[in-house]
């Protein structure tokens, strides 16, 4: 019997070292049918000038096939501007942006996904949601971030991407993502740090996200408020007709 327990312990340890299994566990622990939150964003440029924006974000579906819609609510000059995203398992997402000032929606071209989304340090691609099967993974190291033990992984996208690869730090005790560094052929492009984790509907969720655009040396800090999971949302909330609503 003791040998059996020893074998199971070794098997569990081996599984924990499998980078793909680690990411699968990250996704498994964060599954929800839908999500809604209010985000407050502080955007700081290289001269430390700060602009504040707010958006409402809604999401429906499973990883890699989800749909999301985010809409700015403040300040008045950006109110109503919205982005609709349809994620796909086999290819890059479809994205459309609505500009109420000209009452027109615009499809975001694949070659434009690396550009910043409307004055923030998120690129259009950063707002996609991809499934574990859309990357290849490698375990790079064991690390410690803010006193928490973490795995450091490398991911390489299988679909078209502005990034050649990314480094991810995954906390070992609760499988939350602590940091992501994304690279292109020239080097580090973007660093995203997740913090202030809180358990909501049994899902560990970062209340604070800090994005650093290394090339521009600008930063966006987003704080999540009024967060809800498994809210009643339908497919009709994520159509071009829904995108064109003014509020």
Cβ–Cβ under 8 Å, residues 142 and 159: no
Close Cβ partners of 15 (under 8 Å, ≥ 6 residues apart)? 21
pLDDT of residue 247 exceeding 60: no
Show contacts of 45-52: CB within 8 Å, 24+ apart: 45/216, 45/218, 46/216, 46/217, 46/218, 51/119
**Overall pTM surpassing 0.75 (yes/no):** yes
- Phi, psi (deg, nearest 5) at residue 89: -70, -25
How far apart are the C-alpha atoms of 115 and 122, rounded to whole Å? 8
Ramachandran region, residue 147 (left: φ > 0; alpha: ψ -120 to 50; beta: rest): left
Task: Report pLDDT digits (tens) over 89-143.
Answer: 888 899 999 999 888 899 999 889 999 998 899 999 999 988 898 999 999 999 9
pLDDT at 3: 54
The share of the chain scoring above pLDDT 90, in percent, equals 77
**CATH number of the domain where residue 213 is located:** 2.50.20.10
pLDDT at 7: 45
Mean pLDDT (the chain, rounded): 90
How far apart are the C-alpha atoms of 118 and 121, rounded to whole Å? 9
**Number of folded domains in the chain?**
1
pLDDT of residue 191 exceeding 60: yes
Structure confidence at residue 53 as a pLDDT band (50, 70, 90): very high
Domain that holds residue 79: 2-243
How far apart are the C-alpha atoms of 74 and 76, rounded to whole Å? 5
Integer angstrom CA distances of residue 26 from 53, 99, 119, 142: 29, 35, 30, 17
Closest listed residue to residue 128, CA positions, set 88, 98, 155, 166: 88
């Amino acid at each position: 019997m003791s040998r059996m327990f020893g074998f199971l312990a070794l098997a569990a340890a081996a599984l924990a070292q499998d980078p793909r299994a680690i990411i699968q566990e990250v996704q498994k622990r964060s599954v929800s049918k839908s999500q809604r939150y209010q985000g407050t964003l502080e955007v700081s440029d290289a001269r430390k000038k700060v602009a504040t924006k707010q958006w409402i974000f809604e999401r429906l579906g499973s990883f890699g096939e989800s749909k999301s819609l985010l809409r700015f609510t403040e300040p008045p000059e950006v109110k109503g501007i919205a982005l609709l995203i349809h994620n796909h398992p086999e290819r890059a997402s479809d994205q459309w942006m609505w500009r109420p000032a000209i009452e027109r929606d615009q499809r975001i071209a694949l070659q434009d996904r690396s550009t910043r989304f409307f004055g923030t340090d998120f690129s259009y691609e950063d707002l996609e949601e991809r499934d574990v099967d859309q990357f290849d993974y490698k375990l790079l190291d064991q690390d410690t971030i803010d006193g928490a033990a973490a795995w450091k992984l490398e991911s390489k996208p299988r679909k078209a991407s502005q990034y050649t690869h990314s480094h991810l730090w995954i906390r070992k005790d609760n499988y939350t993502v602590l940091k992501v560094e994304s690279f292109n052929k020239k080097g580090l492009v973007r660093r995203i740090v997740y913090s202030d984790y809180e358990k909501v509907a049994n899902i560990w969720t970062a209340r604070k996200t800090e994005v650093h655009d290394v090339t521009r040396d600008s930063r966006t800090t987003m704080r999540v408020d009024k967060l809800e999971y498994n809210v009643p949302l339908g497919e009709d909330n994520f159509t071009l007709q829904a995108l064109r609503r003014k509020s």
